[in-house]
Amino acid sequence: SLLMRYGRFSAQQGWLPANVSDPWHRAPAFMGTDADLGGEGLSSSALLGEPRVFMTGLSDEAGAAAPLAMAIKQLGAPVASESAQLEAYVHETLWCPEGGVRRHHVQGRDHSVRASMVHWSDEMQAAPTLAMAAAPALSQECLKCWTTCPKGRDCCNWMVCWSENRSLESWRAYNYP
């Protein structure tokens, strides 16, 4: 069925496994996908390099859509391996555990949900190698404008180069992943 095919595709090509080196701590997670990216295997269609922080940051409508869709899929057509991936996402990426580092999770112990996991920082500006490997388009955009940025909020392009403080904002009631 279409629902089962969706689950297989997301679990294989949209899954960002825990062992992936990601400067924003997004793994493990179900990511938004683009089937036109093609390729075979884990993460081959995942929108990892999409520069818009709300698409790849695991929050907001676009970023939270993939894990939410997989959770809903499990209600109607559960598959044990997909449920296990969903559990890994919830416990390692979504929910900040007792004693966990808030900036490494989507949702805090106080139930606040950050605006995006993806952001730019002075540290990334100084040593961009890991960010360049994870998200080249975002990195190229931020590298061009970060040094002239006042670092207050949306520094360069409001869709791309958010400061970490901006990414941690939780004022939107509908950010819930």
Domain span including residue 101: 1-177
Which band of pLDDT confidence, cut at 50, 70 and 90, is reported for residue 151? low
Domains held by the chain: number? 1
Which band of pLDDT confidence, cut at 50, 70 and 90, is reported for residue 155? low
Give the per-residue pLDDT at 129. 95
Helical (H) or strand (E) element with 83? helix 80-89
Which band of pLDDT confidence, cut at 50, 70 and 90, is reported for residue 40? low
Give the per-residue pLDDT at 5. 93
Q: Region 133-155: what's the mean pLDDT?
A: 80
22-25 contact pairs (CB < 8 A, 24+): 22/134, 23/124, 23/130, 23/131, 23/134, 24/57, 24/117, 24/118, 24/119, 24/134, 25/93, 25/103, 25/104, 25/105, 25/117
Give the per-residue pLDDT at 4. 95
pLDDT at residue 156 tops 90 = no
Which band of pLDDT confidence, cut at 50, 70 and 90, is reported for residue 15? very high
Contact by Cβ (8 Å): 117, 57: yes
